[in-house]
Structure 1
């Protein structure tokens, strides 16, 4: 799953640019110049899929005939490391495991060789490529504050890599002083000690909600703001992926009760017709939202809002955005953590945050909830995707402590047609105490952050060579047919269309 920045995609785009020049305008879909960064990642991934030199002619998948093939520029040294690992593990012919290793950096492979790690060939639950993929993910997740609860001070120290000696200093600060330090520290202009001294003599700002209780304990007070959802009362906010809109209703009522004048933009990925099949109450829910001056948009792909007409004119308007329990959709026969499908979950988070950049106000908040034990949308994907697009991690709140947590959880798929909360069939597929709310603040530097890093999908040949999941009992034409079907699904999803 090589990232574009690691060589293969940039080489591919360069190799194919001249050959498919006439297709570029179609891919750009008329997006405005200032929004091109918000959709660039999905367009590149779409071209990547359509240019797979191992796939059937792309016409068979409902698109245009491919005109360029992907050219890999992985160094000979990295190729040698991949071959060394596969040889050591007796997996030299395993294309799925090779696909996993191709997504690693040279440094990561060197560390893996030195560690002596090897996948268990006799594991009863996971195949070797799954085990390697999980091992890589867990290794990456060792860096950072962890997937569980993280307060303001821990997140602040992790961001600036401050030593343990700063912990007692920060925890002694009042609300006013801690907020002053957190908002102004940039790692270079002033030393932490200088800012702490300045904070003690700084004037108290009474004109905003953040000035409340200035002498209260700093960390506890700043944590209450997030838990009580005291957001910018003037800014608009958006909710993405809200299956039955029950969370949007709770948010709209919350903002109305606080006297906020900013709008609530509620969105669903499904069409209204699909929602009516699954949720008998959906029309009443929409009416409730409209009674609270919220707007409801259907068929919204959160990674492609730059090409959605409903979002035209909303650039720079969002003060807060919510995405509860994101998921790229299940693929029958595969667990979410399998490398043939897990790239979709990682890309979802990276493309989501990149798409938001053009629509967020500086200082705006983004809140993404997920289980800290999730193997689809891993917490690392959320935090890393945010950081790539200049959204800084400011706190992780246990979901049950959040003021807006009590809403009707749903599956977000066909199961909702017959498993509904009012029928005693509430969402119960994970343990509530593991659910977390990951909170981020948009802090643009003024410089372009560079192309979004996204994970390469498996080539058609990798899918066709897979021997587990839904491919376990398939051979010959049946296996090729399923590989073609999945490949077509991936192309369709990247094009922003709902599948399943």
Structure 2
């Protein structure tokens, strides 16, 4: 009787799938019995779909890029093309069999989950599922997770998006404080025995291990080499206090900002330029000769409306031989003429509290808008690969509980672009933390930054602010195309019922969807909104 009931349930699920799948272009699968057969047949058709995707990616974007820098900006241009497709779509145009970047097997699994949860009409839930790999979709299916359709505070799409992110974050180090040894241990999957041995090393020995261990030689052999190693230049900064405890001493280097004195340092997204001022004065006090390149996303006219002291700040920076650039999109510096010939020159890069801008009516974590935050970090680190010198530092400050730019976007975007995670330190322990933070948007007109106690941010727990520290360690291998989180289509926006779309209908809803879509296109083109 139990087997008969299961067969009936399978038949009902199969009937629902047969009814739903033709709309997605899987007409050839109706006659197959069981989900396994459908998924195998779908997987068999994957190569043809991948070839179609590759063909559609070809073509110009109207942007001239030097050949050796194309990879630095390819992801950003591809994102713009994807958003522009909705504008270019003509009535009666041939419909794609499978959504961009997906395989038939993924489409089948998405449909199965939507039917299983009773959420077939929810286009935003469908959009979230379409962003997952086949392995991730299978993991969601196996764990029997289902978003709460009756949650009073979050929509099913928001709950599902958060679950998917937390599932991925289990494979990353945590978002809280992580010392240099814990980050090293996570990278090489070392056990507690190795941890104990390494924590006993002096500064000289631990630095040698961190610099030379590559997994091909036994850890004990490297430790033996480290104990016998004598640096060539004892007066070099990194060789100071060789007998001091290793972990805490290397951590001090990060906190005191003892960077390459000869290399240039760039600051991105510094709206009121107070951090760049702090860095320029710090470098001058240490006798550094490398430039500070201070950038803002906004143009100078907008900055003058928000920060009455901006002209004075620029003058002080220029007195410290810094260069100030406005209207800089950190994901598109490869096509910014002001960064021409700067390849492999940056010894340190800073981006404090990155954010893609608030969208009225949506929380930062909502999947309709959150893709912007994830892509910001992915495209930022891909662009830096061509401008940061090997061994150069990148430091990104953010709150460990941020739901816009999640810590996993920062760490994940760095690792996939060959920036090694060195340490996560508390923001308040950083020598450069006392600067006038700002929102970076219209709120700065009436909420002034306070360099002493950050009163503008008194709703945020200061002890949860972290600085994620990375060093560029290129392997010399060619990386594949930069992965990006796909934006919702215009069709998805028009059918969305979350956020500002809850209370609008008909032409008003279509206009709101078109307006939001236009904003997305403007943002990915490098123009500031808000």
TM-score normalised to structure 2 length: 0.87
Give the corresponding residue for 2:461.
431
Residue 262 of structure 2 corresponds to residue 256 of structure 1 = no
- The answer on whether the counterparts of 1:364 and 1:441 sit within 8 Å (CA) in structure 2 is yes
Give the corresponding residue for 1:406.
434
* Distance across 2 between alignment mates of 1:7 and 1:149: 43
SS of the counterpart of 1:394? Answer: strand
- Choose which of 443, 453, 478 in structure 1 pairs with 2:508: 478
What's the CA shift for 1:68? 9.5
1:263-283 C-alpha deviation (Å, 9 max, x unpaired): 000000000100000000001
- Choose which of 41, 48, 55 in structure 1 pairs with 2:75: 41
What's the CA shift for 1:9? 10
- The answer on whether the counterparts of 2:98 and 2:104 sit within 8 Å (CA) in structure 1 is no
Give the corresponding residue for 1:199.
226
How has the CA–CA distance of structure 1 residues 394 and 12 changed in structure 2, closer, same or farther, with 3 Å as cutoff?
Answer: farther
SS of the counterpart of 1:426? Answer: helix
How has the CA–CA distance of structure 1 residues 17 and 264 changed in structure 2, closer, same or farther, with 3 Å as cutoff?
Answer: closer
* Distance across 1 between alignment mates of 2:255 and 2:431: 6
Flag structure 1 segments of 5+ consecutive residues without an equivalent: 1-5, 60-65
- The answer on whether the counterparts of 2:299 and 2:326 sit within 8 Å (CA) in structure 1 is yes
How has the CA–CA distance of structure 1 residues 209 and 68 changed in structure 2, closer, same or farther, with 3 Å as cutoff?
Answer: farther
- The answer on whether the counterparts of 2:436 and 2:450 sit within 8 Å (CA) in structure 1 is no
What's the CA shift for 1:69? 6.2
1:471-490 C-alpha deviation (Å, 9 max, x unpaired): 01011111111111111111
Residue 118 of structure 2 corresponds to residue 90 of structure 1 = yes
SS of the counterpart of 2:443? Answer: helix
1:351-409 C-alpha deviation (Å, 9 max, x unpaired): 00001111111000100010000000000000111111110100000000000001111
Give the corresponding residue for 2:42.
none
- The answer on whether the counterparts of 1:269 and 1:298 sit within 8 Å (CA) in structure 2 is yes
* Distance across 1 between alignment mates of 2:97 and 2:64: 25
Give the corresponding residue for 2:478.
448
How has the CA–CA distance of structure 1 residues 403 and 8 changed in structure 2, closer, same or farther, with 3 Å as cutoff?
Answer: farther
Give the corresponding residue for 1:330.
358
- Choose which of 236, 239, 242 in structure 1 pairs with 2:267: 239
- The answer on whether the counterparts of 2:268 and 2:351 sit within 8 Å (CA) in structure 1 is yes
What's the CA shift for 1:70? 8.6
1:293-313 C-alpha deviation (Å, 9 max, x unpaired): 111000000000011111112
What's the CA shift for 1:76? 3.4
What's the CA shift for 1:207? 3.5
Flag structure 2 segments of 5+ consecutive residues without an equivalent: 1-45
* Distance across 1 between alignment mates of 2:393 and 2:47: 32
- Choose which of 56, 69, 79 in structure 2 pairs with 1:16: 56
Residue 156 of structure 2 corresponds to residue 122 of structure 1 = no
Residue 489 of structure 2 corresponds to residue 498 of structure 1 = no
Give the corresponding residue for 1:301.
329
What's the CA shift for 1:58? 6.5
* Distance across 1 between alignment mates of 2:54 and 2:173: 38
Aligned length in residues: 479
User: In the TM superposition, what are the counterparts of 1:279-298 in structure 2 within 5 Å?
Assistant: 279-298=307-326
- The answer on whether the counterparts of 1:9 and 1:48 sit within 8 Å (CA) in structure 2 is no
Give the corresponding residue for 2:207.
179
SS of the counterpart of 2:358? Answer: coil
TM-score normalised to structure 1 length: 0.92
How has the CA–CA distance of structure 1 residues 450 and 493 changed in structure 2, closer, same or farther, with 3 Å as cutoff?
Answer: same
* Distance across 2 between alignment mates of 1:187 and 1:359: 28
* Distance across 1 between alignment mates of 2:334 and 2:87: 31
SS of the counterpart of 1:358? Answer: coil
* Distance across 1 between alignment mates of 2:346 and 2:52: 35
- The answer on whether the counterparts of 1:271 and 1:298 sit within 8 Å (CA) in structure 2 is yes
* Distance across 2 between alignment mates of 1:426 and 1:256: 29
- The answer on whether the counterparts of 1:238 and 1:265 sit within 8 Å (CA) in structure 2 is yes
Residue 132 of structure 2 corresponds to residue 104 of structure 1 = yes
How has the CA–CA distance of structure 1 residues 12 and 481 changed in structure 2, closer, same or farther, with 3 Å as cutoff?
Answer: farther
What's the CA shift for 1:48? 1.2
Give the corresponding residue for 1:3.
none
SS of the counterpart of 2:267? Answer: strand
- Structure with larger Rg: 2
How has the CA–CA distance of structure 1 residues 68 and 362 changed in structure 2, closer, same or farther, with 3 Å as cutoff?
Answer: farther
User: In the TM superposition, what are the counterparts of 1:358-377 in structure 2 within 5 Å?
Assistant: 358-377=386-405
1:193-249 C-alpha deviation (Å, 9 max, x unpaired): 110000011113413110000000000000000001011111100000001000000
1:74-94 C-alpha deviation (Å, 9 max, x unpaired): 333322321221112110111
Give the corresponding residue for 1:32.
66
Give the corresponding residue for 1:63.
none
Which segment drifts farther, 31-40 or 7-16?
7-16
Q: Higher relative contact order by CA 8 Å / sep ≥ 6: 1 or 2?
A: 1
SS of the counterpart of 1:376? Answer: coil
| CA RMSD, 1 decimal | 2.1
- The answer on whether the counterparts of 1:314 and 1:359 sit within 8 Å (CA) in structure 2 is yes
SS of the counterpart of 1:474? Answer: coil
SS of the counterpart of 1:165? Answer: helix
